[in-house]
Structure 1
Amino acid sequence: MYNKMWHETQEALNSLLDKESQMIEPQRNQVSIFQMLATYYIKYVQIFRNLENVYDQIVHPQKRRLIRKILDGVMGRILELKNEMVELELTEFHYFDDILQDLNLAPQQLDIPIPKYFLKEKMEVIKGREKILAQILADIGLDVTDTKYHIKGIPLEEAVKVIQIAERARQGRLRATFMKQIFLQEYRAKQARILGERIADVGAAALRIQKVWRGFHQNKKTEREREEEMIFLGMSPPPLFSEVSATVIQAEKVTRLRDEVQIKHEEDYREALVTIKDDLKLVEGPDIKENLQEQIRRWFIECRNLTGTFPDYPKEEEGGSAIIFSNKTPQQVIDDIIANQEEEEKNKKKKKEKKPKKAKKDKGKKETKEKNKEEDEGWKMSPSVFLHTMEEGNNVYKDMWKNKDESWNFPQDYDPELIKEEKRKELESEIRVQVDELMRQELKNLKLAVNREKELPVKTGKKGGKTKKKEKKGKKGEKGKKDKDLTADRTIESLYKELVEEGLLIQSLKVNLSDYIGEYSYLGTTLRQESREPMPSLLDVRQLIALYGILPLGSAAVHEKAPLVKSLLLAGPSGVGKKMLVHAICTETGANLFNLSATNIAGKYPGKNGLQMMLHVVFKVAQQLQPSVIWIGDTEKTFYKKVPNSERMIEPKRLKKQLPKILKLLKPDDRILIVGTTQRPFDAELQSFCKVYQKIILIPRPDYASRYGKYPSPLPMVGN
């Protein structure tokens, strides 16, 4: 089933890549440009959803490697298209109602799926890190797992009054129960005396029994009908609502078994990579060596016959003999040699001719012409980094897996023939290095014996001095770098422990992004057509958090090449889930969470040197234990226009000058995201505030649809 799903997804991807390759002409109509970008974006999201599912479920190790490569490419392309739409519309939120209708898709299918391999492939590392963190917190005496309740104190007189009321109520209930029992006892005795005087009537007794039974039966029926009505209205949960069904249990069991098979096949594949290579080295290694030597000797003789001299052997840095014989026949090699000689002769003639000097005035004219051309030309999509990766993966799929007969491989274990092809190339390149050394010496001997060419002595005078100087400079540079490392003599474990003890590295809560429940805004496109900017929906927020926060942090390949987002700002009123989203980013990617809020760093690492040391330790640990999230809560305090008198003691603006410098130092290799949360962004200096945060996401209060989605029962809706 998953193989079939993969083949269908590859077909969809192939047609999409063909459409993108055909799009060359620039366009000018902004509406049609957005429609095109949005269509590509939605289709790539569907492909991403299918590929993620396929990668998680397929157990064939060689297929999984190819799918992973294509999956990373699709993720990166989605981020590129999102960036194009943002630059086109100058907004982070987009609405695709008409396109979704054309493609027959529901709005929920726009949700960005989070690949399960983000956590699955490093689960042991995450568990080990959590265990160490819990141990450090336990040693300090801070147990984060215990929930803390904020209890409001009340005066003693009021507390006594509350206890008295409760006690009097308890005594009243007991007395009422006691009096009821006495009354019932007296009533039964009275009835027994009256009935004892009468003559027993069988018909009357039967009628009484029937009355009791019918009453009991009708009461039960009424209760059952009332429960069914409440379930139908959605005011009560259905029976066995909280119990897990047998189907779900079976599905979980199958998933666990599939994971075990994946791990086993992966281990077998890695062992096979070593054993098959060793076998090839023993069996085919000598033949490969002889063939390479014969091929190179033939090249020597043919070059000698054609040019009259032996050729120069390519250097090891250039690739050795591989650059001569890479996918070429002997005749093509001979043609290349003749063509190179002709080019050298032409170059010599051109050097003799003097080139006329160009006037400087022409440069200014050219620049203005180029600017005018750019203005005349319409919009053109910026070049993609990930298209080449997807095309490569797609071509490998077509050549290798599309029409491959796998009837022999029912368990979906590794294919030994594919490993042999791959390792044969590796073995050939390793043997070629050894052969090149031998053949270089053989070529020298041939030149001395046949051509009587004398080797010129290599001059090592000034150049050697220069290299020595460079080496010295390099050493000095290295010393400088070591001096900058303020904690060179300390281990990462000790720095990690120090940050936990200081409360700068905290344990993130286990919250998934799917727990942030919210509906799609169905009026977005309609409001925009009336020139009214709609309030973003919670589904849009969830989508942006996945795109800008989770996907780049989870995949190193995507983070390196995709449009780089170093910092996010989550702005919104209190209680809308800003902190929850920060914890969700950490949960979904297995990231460390550093808390650099103004109130948290107050009094820690005092002074200028202390601040420098704190930031150095935080970012050193964050880089070593990637991915990492650096959270700055109430970040407007760091950029206050005017610090309130009540907060001057905590020095809230300590990080103001340091944050821009830190952002410049972050490279694409560093999977570190700075996330700020604020509910009062207007208290900050907007210029410096907006320079630090690349993406500002508004977190709105939930609308009616989102509240209804979270509380499906009509009862809570009354309060809302």
Structure 2
Amino acid sequence: MSQRTYNQLWADAQLELSRLLTEELPAEPHRPEKDRVVFFQRLVMLYVRYIQIFRKLDEVYDQVVHPQKRTVIRATLEGVMGRVLELKNEMVQNEFSEYHYMDDVLHDFKLTPADLEIPIPRYFKELQERKTMLTEIFKMVEVTESPEPLAKDMSQEEAIKLIQLAERARQGRLRAKLNQESRNLNRIYSSKVHGAAATELAAVCIQKVWKGYIQRKRVKIARKEEMIFLGMVMDPKYQVPCPAVVTAQANEASTRIKREDRNADYQKSAVAVTNQLQDVEGLDISKSMKDQIRQWFIECRDATGLFPDYPEDEAGGSALLFIEKTPTQLLEEIAAKEEEGASNKPTGKDGKKEKDKKKEKDKNKKKENEEEEEAGLKMLPSAFLSDLQVEYKTFVDFWKTRNESSNFHQRHEVELIKEEKRKVIEAKIRVQVDEQMRQELAELKLAVDKDKGGKANAKKKKGAKSGKKKKKEKDLTANRTLESLCQELVEQGLLKRANNVRLQDYRGDYNYLGTTLRQNDIEPMPSLWDVRQVLTQYAILPLGSQPVHEKATLIKAILLAGPSGVGKKMLVHAICQETGANLFDLSPLNTAGKYPGKSGLAMMLHMVFKVARLLQPSVIWIGDAEKMFYKKVPKEEKELDPKRLKKDMPKSLKLIKGEDRVLIVGTTKDPLSADIKSLCKMYSKILLIPRPAYGSRYILWKHLIRKQGGVVTSTLDLSSLTKISDGYTPGHMVQVIQSIVTKRRILQQANSPLTAVEFIAPLAKICPVFQTEEDALKNWYAKTPLGKKRAQAATEKGEEQAPVKSKDAKKKGKK
């Protein structure tokens, strides 16, 4: 598509965004909604519409060439991403479930489940380039590791015996083949009939075989054509990408190359314009600033009789003076801030009384808020809607009506660069001017009003010193470089290279009966598609975008619970690959015997979290997370000390802040053996991953067989194979397919296609996940905080419906 088309798509997305903003930020606030179902339906409608905008903006940002447009689109895209996460959080709080089903909304909007899937932004791939330092360290460690011997040392006698064994087997197979051929020849000669009758019988036999072959071939072709006509089978010409699709993909690739060229030109121009503005306008800007600040000194002196105190750098410095306010207003604001600071530090009995009064007021406010919440449901305040409003305004004011007929190649605008860089230059110059003007103000105060200024400054200095100092964290590795820390972690096996898997490889089908089951008070098990969606929202989007991570709800730790083979470890590696995150392994079995003692444990955690923050985004994986919180440690694991991280790990978790893109992901297949309270304190989000349902298994069989090199034909009854494999996990399927679809079997597919019977024997040797195990996990999840809330909401709903029925029954009885 052309740049004009993408600009139009951007305008359409902005139009839909403006409609959503008017709905979410009306002139009069929405009244609280009493019906929980109606409120949830409203949230879902907003959620689906924001996802549609998200998909459009992602495509536009990937293909638009203009560098200055891309900055605006990027900011809007991140705002929409953040708003999607906020709505997801509200839906979880409203429905008390991590998984939501929107079949009715999809039907209303006439969308497919694919339209509802949250895409991973394409610009995340630009951020996935690993640092060369880490790749060099991985290579160095791989080379230094002693390679395992490929073959054991063998004596001459053993080698001769092995060769003799193989030769005897070869001769035996050859002898059996010759015997079989001789028997067949004897059978032919013994049944041979001489004469005209024999030739006629032979001709009839040949005709019968040939006619049967031809008829079967015709029926097969006719059946295939009928299936294509009915839409049950795809036409072979559509299975291969058509020339138009190939051309479109090539155009997109060339557009990306062009985009990088435009961006490089933009960066060069920005540097040149900055230097030019600094040389030409720098002196004039500093002079005008100084004149304005001196004028402010004089006005304050005339109005109050004293020179003012210069604003501090933390408050904005002289930038406060350029706001359209009078000197008296500025002085009143500064005095009010000082009074607030003094009032926040009461001393003695009066201070305690004031604190108690404040506590009582806070409690009363909380009670009032709770009563208001009970009266109705309201949307939570958003951290992204104001940013979206600002970005929409810049689009309307500048880009919407801009005539770009002369800018056919979509190059950058120099005037826009000047406007942006002037602000940057002013900020730099203001810092220098503030230092000079502070000295000048101090000299004026000393010269004009020495006594008053000295006393005031002394009081303020005393007040400033009275504040408590925050304790700084001790850096145990202050003298070490980042490279040495990374090298040590790689050598100890704590920093690992993530496997090359993508989230799209985690296949699964949409749960089409989720809404219907919940309407009938049956809690459905999530599908693998739902798990992939939730992980995209909780892990990939926040880790991939710094602004989204800082403003969205902070999620520090996620626990993936499910039977072995459902793909928990694969999901951890997929998160790292999609976001370019580094993978740290703090599994109990991996840390056993490393860094012994309390000091060693503290050093290990300090190094891991320090490197994780410096090389963010980072994922800290804790495999077999239940071992850390064992109720009773098994005898065979006591030597490994799996509970050594139980106390120190939650403390390290508290050090993660909003600006740190560090995520802890735990995986467990046996959460029942752990203390549920400790586990829930550690992990704020717990996701239950079930065994795959019929639809997911069908997709997995098809995908995994093709990935291994097999060809799925009509002889392979996938439906029956899917039905038979109920209870088996994707890990079991991979194991079976690798044992059947070997290199030799792939070569034989032309003559003998794959059949479902071949997979049954190896599948029967594996123990599946039974319904009792899944029910046990489901009951365990019901004891988690979110599970308890959902169960409580269900009982309250049942109690509300019960008295209504009894009243109706009484009325009927009276009648």
TM-score range (shorter-chain normalised) is 0.7 to 0.9
Q: CA deviation at 1:703?
A: 0.8
What's the counterpart of residue 8 of structure 2? Answer: 4
Q: CA deviation at 1:496?
A: 1.8
User: Secondary structure of the residue that 1:25 maps to in structure 2?
Assistant: coil
- Greater CA drift, 317-326 or 604-613: 317-326
What's the counterpart of residue 684 of structure 1? Answer: 674
Aligned with residue 35 of structure 1, among 38, 41, 53:
41
Q: CA deviation at 1:325?
A: 3.5
> Residues 597 and 633 of structure 1 are in contact (CA less than 8 Å); yes or no, is this contact kept in structure 2?
yes
TM alignment of 1:384-423, pairs within 5 A: 384-423=382-421
What's the counterpart of residue 585 of structure 1? Answer: 575
Structure 2 CA distance, aligned partners of 1:438 and 1:698? 61
What's the counterpart of residue 88 of structure 1? Answer: 94
Which structure is richer in relative contact order (CA contacts within 8 A, separation 6 or more)? 1
1:631 aligns with 2:621: yes
Q: CA deviation at 1:704?
A: 1.1
> Residues 520 and 540 of structure 1 are in contact (CA less than 8 Å); yes or no, is this contact kept in structure 2?
yes
> Residues 482 and 611 of structure 2 are in contact (CA less than 8 Å); yes or no, is this contact kept in structure 1?
yes
> Residues 231 and 237 of structure 1 are in contact (CA less than 8 Å); yes or no, is this contact kept in structure 2?
no
Distance 1:707 1:280, change over 3 A: same
Q: CA deviation at 1:138?
A: 3.1
Residue type at the aligned position of 1:559: H
Structure 2 CA distance, aligned partners of 1:498 and 1:438? 48
What's the counterpart of residue 14 of structure 1? Answer: 18
Cα deviation per residue 1:284-322 (whole Å; 9 max; x = unaligned)? 455556665676677788889x85979758556365654
What's the counterpart of residue 264 of structure 1? Answer: 261
What's the counterpart of residue 697 of structure 2? Answer: 707
What's the counterpart of residue 513 of structure 1? Answer: 503
Cα deviation per residue 1:203-257 (whole Å; 9 max; x = unaligned)? x9xxx9xx99999899679647636746976999976899665445434432332
Structure 2 CA distance, aligned partners of 1:434 and 1:673? 40
What's the counterpart of residue 64 of structure 1? Answer: 70
Residue type at the aligned position of 1:3: N
Aligned with residue 504 of structure 1, among 471, 490, 494:
494
Residue type at the aligned position of 1:257: S
Q: CA deviation at 1:4?
A: 1.0
Structure 2 CA distance, aligned partners of 1:446 and 1:462? 17
What's the counterpart of residue 276 of structure 1? Answer: 273
Distance 1:709 1:423, change over 3 A: same
Structure 2 CA distance, aligned partners of 1:466 and 1:307? 27
- Greater CA drift, 656-665 or 280-289: 280-289
Structure 2 CA distance, aligned partners of 1:400 and 1:708? 51
Cα deviation per residue 1:647-704 (whole Å; 9 max; x = unaligned)? 2222222222222212112222222211111121111111111111111111111111
What's the counterpart of residue 251 of structure 2? Answer: 254
1:717 aligns with 2:719: yes
Distance 1:672 1:231, change over 3 A: farther
User: Secondary structure of the residue that 1:666 maps to in structure 2?
Assistant: coil
Residue type at the aligned position of 2:409: P
Structure 2 CA distance, aligned partners of 1:213 and 1:406? 76
Distance 1:663 1:219, change over 3 A: same
Residue type at the aligned position of 1:138: V
Residue type at the aligned position of 1:71: L
Structure 2 CA distance, aligned partners of 1:434 and 1:648? 63
Q: CA deviation at 1:27?
A: 2.2
User: Secondary structure of the residue that 2:620 maps to in structure 1?
Assistant: strand
Structure 1 CA distance, aligned partners of 2:628 and 2:123? 36
Q: CA deviation at 1:114?
A: 0.6
Residue type at the aligned position of 1:376: E
Residue type at the aligned position of 2:699: G
Distance 1:486 1:278, change over 3 A: closer
What's the counterpart of residue 220 of structure 2? Answer: 226
Report the structure number with the largest CA radius of gyration: 1
Structure 1 CA distance, aligned partners of 2:74 and 2:263? 14
Structure 1 CA distance, aligned partners of 2:673 and 2:77? 42
Q: CA deviation at 1:134?
A: 3.5
Structure 1 CA distance, aligned partners of 2:178 and 2:241? 41
Q: CA deviation at 1:43?
A: 1.3
Residue type at the aligned position of 1:250: T
Structure 1 CA distance, aligned partners of 2:243 and 2:513? 40
> Residues 570 and 677 of structure 1 are in contact (CA less than 8 Å); yes or no, is this contact kept in structure 2?
yes
> Residues 558 and 664 of structure 2 are in contact (CA less than 8 Å); yes or no, is this contact kept in structure 1?
yes
Structure 1 CA distance, aligned partners of 2:548 and 2:68? 21
Structure 2 CA distance, aligned partners of 1:362 and 1:691? 32
Residue type at the aligned position of 1:75: M
Q: CA deviation at 1:57?
A: 1.4
User: Secondary structure of the residue that 2:560 maps to in structure 1?
Assistant: strand
Q: RMSD of the alignment, in Å?
A: 4.7
User: % of aligned pairs identical?
Assistant: 46
> Residues 592 and 625 of structure 1 are in contact (CA less than 8 Å); yes or no, is this contact kept in structure 2?
yes
TM alignment of 1:69-80, pairs within 5 A: 69-80=75-86
User: Secondary structure of the residue that 1:630 maps to in structure 2?
Assistant: strand
Structure 2 CA distance, aligned partners of 1:433 and 1:128? 36
Structure 1: runs of 5 or more not aligned: 147-156, 196-203, 348-356
Structure 2 CA distance, aligned partners of 1:128 and 1:232? 59
What's the counterpart of residue 381 of structure 1? Answer: 379
> Residues 567 and 674 of structure 1 are in contact (CA less than 8 Å); yes or no, is this contact kept in structure 2?
yes
Residue type at the aligned position of 1:373: E
Q: CA deviation at 1:379?
A: 2.1
User: Secondary structure of the residue that 1:650 maps to in structure 2?
Assistant: coil
Cα deviation per residue 1:373-404 (whole Å; 9 max; x = unaligned)? 33432222221111222122111111121111
Structure 2 CA distance, aligned partners of 1:344 and 1:477? 28
> Residues 269 and 414 of structure 1 are in contact (CA less than 8 Å); yes or no, is this contact kept in structure 2?
yes
TM alignment of 1:647-658, pairs within 5 A: 647-658=637-648
Structure 2 CA distance, aligned partners of 1:602 and 1:130? 26
What's the counterpart of residue 140 of structure 1? Answer: 145
Structure 2: runs of 5 or more not aligned: 151-160, 338-349, 703-711, 723-815
Q: CA deviation at 1:280?
A: 2.9
Distance 1:403 1:637, change over 3 A: same
Structure 2 CA distance, aligned partners of 1:186 and 1:236? 50
Q: CA deviation at 1:442?
A: 8.5
Distance 1:691 1:461, change over 3 A: closer
- Greater CA drift, 177-186 or 81-90: 177-186
Distance 1:427 1:539, change over 3 A: same
Cα deviation per residue 1:440-482 (whole Å; 9 max; x = unaligned)? 889999999xxx94555747997899799999x98x977xx5x
Aligned with residue 568 of structure 1, among 526, 544, 558:
558
User: Secondary structure of the residue that 1:414 maps to in structure 2?
Assistant: coil
1:129 aligns with 2:137: no
What's the counterpart of residue 151 of structure 1? Answer: none
> Residues 300 and 310 of structure 1 are in contact (CA less than 8 Å); yes or no, is this contact kept in structure 2?
no
Residue type at the aligned position of 2:636: S
Residue type at the aligned position of 1:278: N
> Residues 634 and 677 of structure 1 are in contact (CA less than 8 Å); yes or no, is this contact kept in structure 2?
yes
Structure 2 CA distance, aligned partners of 1:469 and 1:44? 49
Distance 1:136 1:223, change over 3 A: farther
1:112 aligns with 2:118: yes
> Residues 73 and 389 of structure 1 are in contact (CA less than 8 Å); yes or no, is this contact kept in structure 2?
yes
User: Secondary structure of the residue that 1:600 maps to in structure 2?
Assistant: helix
TM alignment of 1:310-709, pairs within 5 A: 312=308, 314-315=310-311, 317=313, 319=316, 322-326=319-323, 328=324, 336-337=326-327, 370=365, 373-377=368-372, 378-430=376-428, 453=448, 455-456=450-451, 458=454, 481=473, 484-709=474-699
User: Secondary structure of the residue that 1:599 maps to in structure 2?
Assistant: helix
Q: CA deviation at 1:9?
A: 0.6
Distance 1:558 1:300, change over 3 A: closer
Residue type at the aligned position of 1:30: R
Structure 2 CA distance, aligned partners of 1:54 and 1:314? 47
Structure 2 CA distance, aligned partners of 1:213 and 1:566? 76
Structure 1 CA distance, aligned partners of 2:254 and 2:46? 36
